[in-house]
Amino acid sequence: MRTMPAGVAASLWALGAMSACTGVIESRSPTGPSDLGATNPGRSDVAKGAGGAGGISNPAAASRGAVPTACSAAPDPGRSPLRRLNLMEYLNTVADLFGTAAATQVADSFPPDEEGGGFSNNADALVVTGLLAGKYMDVSEKLAAVVAARPGTVVPCDPVQMGETACATRFVDSFGKRAFRRPLSAAERTQYLAFFTEGRKAGMFADGVELALQAFLQSPHFLYRVEAGGTPLPGGTGAVASVAPYEMASRLSYAFWGSMPDDRLFAAAGAGTLSTAAGIEAEARRMLDPNDPKTKRTVAGFHREWFAIGGVSAIAKDPVVYPTWSPSLRNDLRVEIETFIDQVFWTDGRLETLLSAPYSYLNGALAKHYGVVAPTDNGFVRVALDPMQRAGLLTNGALLSLAAKPDQTSPVHRGKFVREQLLCQQLPSPPALDPPIMAPIVSATASTRERFAQHTQPACAACHQLMDPIGFGFENYDAVGRWRTQDGKFNVDASGEVVATTGADGKFTGTVELAKRLGASVDARNCVTTQVFRYAAGRAETAGDACTIERMRKRLDETSHDMRELWVAVASSDAFRFRSVTGGGQ
């Protein structure tokens, strides 16, 4: 746990941090074993708050400085909780098993997943209650009926030519291996063949297939990623085991594709090439392919959740203040930001570029919105922007609109976005003040900055000085992301200040300067590292993961901060190659 340099903390106190808000910054929504009501002695969340009043922690930076002591000789995989397929993984897996059309038919049937730590694949959050359990049953029946109507999808033989029993056995073996993502045991083969027989008795061959499919799709070995194989590490305490080859194939496929292994991963598992770091890295590099739509979809999903882009589709603006706002514009903005992130990640990959690129991807409507020369093409094309006005993600219209109010900008929300999303810091809730402080109302007689002046009162300042001075630097962008030099009748003052970071502190003017400074900051590098870890591991980091995260961070530094390398690095990390024999704990 790293706390703020004393000088910075002291300056917070000087601002009156003691009254209602202690000024503690925590890591963003980490989850740990305690979240399910259990404790896990010996492993504490790295990410837990400092606890002591006045401390500012930046747990995402726990591994900063590459302290060599974090990596001992013995691998430490942290926790290895049992992971249920989340909705996206379930549907992707169904698509790989039965085809996209089948998956699309059932895609709208499910309740949304539980989320933890900002991601929808957090193992500690994902549970199954009555509604979902019933859905699994209903959907398995629906899918089985659809698939059994054209059994060629799953039955690799002709029951007339081969004989029904022999063909049914082949179906159970081949489909079972794909559904459970490992070969069936002899007992399982008998068990699922019995379902075929039961269904066949009541109808045709296809009815046997249908019933067996229903049973496969309701098995825990399909719905969860069960990890029971592997062997305890020699010379260890028995608490850490290797990951069995087929289970490793699933770790890789769900990390990179959000779906089941392909034939090549199954073959690699069968051949034993997934038991070395080199073998795993080779597969990771194969999958990290800009031409692989499954990987692109997963990477896009990671960034969508990290930067909370899902919220863009629900943005509403006041039609009087922003008459050009429309659902169509909103959709264009969302396409723009997703395209921008996608292009930066796959063609460049550097964190600095994400936060400094003087270009974006616009269609005609967006070009008009931003007031730049319209692209001739109807679709989204790369457009150079004024480098004095635009610098990558933070000057993107979708995020500027998201972190704003319906009728005005919001320095608070923009500062909060930087703290929480980009620096992985967690801000405290507003205090319960009496009388309450009301958010300023748009007024012709005061600039935005003046209206938020109330936040410099001691009770507010402890937290708001972490947000507002950053947010003031965004005042050149209105609440729908357009460049402006006037805020009502006032000239925009976009001067701001960053405090409580590692190496990015100081005064600045405008978001371009801010973004470039943050893009080169230690905190942002630690944040992206930690986020990739959380997404790939499906959980918050623990103390045991310090070495894994340190090595990932080292890889980032050694590759000019190429974010793609983090995906390779996490795949060959301790947390990925090994597992705790107690899974999620105790």
Partner 1 sequence: MIKLARRRFLRSAAGGALALPLLSEVGGPARAASPFPKRLIICFSPNGTIPTAWVPRATTPELVLGDIMAPLAPHKNDLIIVDNLTMTAALRAAGGDAHGLGVGCLLTGIEPLAGNQFAAGMGGPGSGWPGGISVDQLIADRIGKTTKFPSLEYTTKRMAGNIWSRISYRGAAMPVTPMDSPADAFDRVFAGDLGDPAAVIRRKAQRKSILDNSLREFDALRRTLGKVDRDKVDLHISALRDIESRLDIPGAGSASSQCKKPARSILTGSKEPTYYLANEKTEANNDLDIPERHQTIREMLVTALACDLTRVASIILAPSRSPIAMSWLGIQEAHHAISHTANVAALIKINQFYAQEIAKLISDLKSMREGAGTVFDNTLIVWCNELGVGNSHSHDHIPFMLAGSAGGFFKTGRSITAPAGTSHNDLLISICQAMGLADVATFGNPKYCKGPLAGLTG
Q: Scanning residues 227 to 266, which ones bind partner 1 (CB under 8 A)?
A: 228
The torsion angles phi and psi of 259, rounded to 5 degrees, stand at -155, -175
* Cross-strand pairs, 83: 225
Diameter of the chain by CA atoms? 87
Contacts of 99 (CB under 8 A, 6+ apart): 153
| Cis upstream peptide for 435 (omega within 30°) | yes
Q: Which residue has tokens 């703020």?
A: 4
Residue 266's nearest CA partner among 181, 323, 192 is 181
Structure tokens at 28: 């963003």
Q: Which of 436, 444, 489, 491 binds partner 1 (CB under 8 A)?
A: 436
Residues 280-309 that bind partner 1 (CB under 8 A): 293, 297, 300-301, 304
Shortest Å distance, C-beta 116 to partner 1: 5
* Angle (nearest 5°) at CA 549 between 470 and 259: 95
CB nearer to partner 1: pick between 467 and 556: 467
CB nearer to partner 1: pick between 413 and 482: 413
Contacts of 294 (CB under 8 A, 6+ apart): 92, 256, 257, 258, 259
CB nearer to partner 1: pick between 411 and 584: 584
Shortest Å distance, C-beta 508 to partner 1: 27
Shortest Å distance, C-beta 72 to partner 1: 23
Residues 186-215 that bind partner 1 (CB under 8 A): 191, 195, 198-199, 202, 211, 214-215
CB nearer to partner 1: pick between 37 and 152: 37
Residue 195's nearest CA partner among 174, 169, 177, 221 is 169
Contacts of 39 (CB under 8 A, 6+ apart): 33, 585, 586
* Cross-strand pairs, 426: 26
Decide if residue 510 touches partner 1 (CB under 8 A).
Answer: no
Decide if residue 14 touches partner 1 (CB under 8 A).
Answer: no
Q: Which of 9, 16, 22, 551 binds partner 1 (CB under 8 A)?
A: 22
Shortest Å distance, C-beta 222 to partner 1: 10
CB nearer to partner 1: pick between 233 and 239: 239
Residue 172's nearest CA partner among 162, 186, 160 is 186
Measured between alpha carbons, how far is 364 from 383 in angstroms, rounded to an integer?
Answer: 11
Structure tokens at 76: 């430490």
Measured between alpha carbons, how far is 535 from 227 in angstroms, rounded to an integer?
Answer: 18
* Cross-strand pairs, 509: 495
Shortest Å distance, C-beta 239 to partner 1: 11
Q: Which of 112, 152, 234, 323 binds partner 1 (CB under 8 A)?
A: 112
C-beta atoms surrounding 435 within 10 Å: 5
Shortest Å distance, C-beta 561 to partner 1: 27
> 95, 512 in Cβ contact below 8 A?
no
What mask, x for binding partner 1 by CB under 8 A, covers residues 394 to 433? Answer: -----------xxx------------------xxxxxxxx
CB nearer to partner 1: pick between 331 and 389: 331
Measured between alpha carbons, how far is 163 from 159 in angstroms, rounded to an integer?
Answer: 5
CB nearer to partner 1: pick between 246 and 508: 246
Continuous segment of H or E residues that includes residue 241? strand 240-242
CB nearer to partner 1: pick between 279 and 431: 431
CB nearer to partner 1: pick between 104 and 486: 104
Decide if residue 349 touches partner 1 (CB under 8 A).
Answer: no
Measured between alpha carbons, how far is 396 from 206 in angstroms, rounded to an integer?
Answer: 53
Shortest Å distance, C-beta 295 to partner 1: 12
Question: Which stretch, 119-127, 367-375, 498-506, 519-527, contacts partner 1 (CB under 8 A)?
Answer: 119-127
Amino acid at 90: Y
Q: Which of 170, 189, 221, 482 binds partner 1 (CB under 8 A)?
A: 221
> 473, 509 in Cβ contact below 8 A?
yes
Decide if residue 147 touches partner 1 (CB under 8 A).
Answer: no
Decide if residue 335 touches partner 1 (CB under 8 A).
Answer: yes
Residues 516-575 that bind partner 1 (CB under 8 A): 540
Question: Which stretch, 275-283, 312-320, 380-388, 513-521, contacts partner 1 (CB under 8 A)?
Answer: 312-320
Decide if residue 11 touches partner 1 (CB under 8 A).
Answer: no
CB nearer to partner 1: pick between 305 and 550: 305
Shortest Å distance, C-beta 45 to partner 1: 6
Decide if residue 273 touches partner 1 (CB under 8 A).
Answer: no
Measured between alpha carbons, how far is 40 from 21 in angstroms, rounded to an integer?
Answer: 30
Measured between alpha carbons, how far is 576 from 383 in angstroms, rounded to an integer?
Answer: 40
Residues 458-497 that bind partner 1 (CB under 8 A): none
CB nearer to partner 1: pick between 123 and 280: 123
Residues 32-61 that bind partner 1 (CB under 8 A): 32-38, 40, 45, 47-49, 51, 53
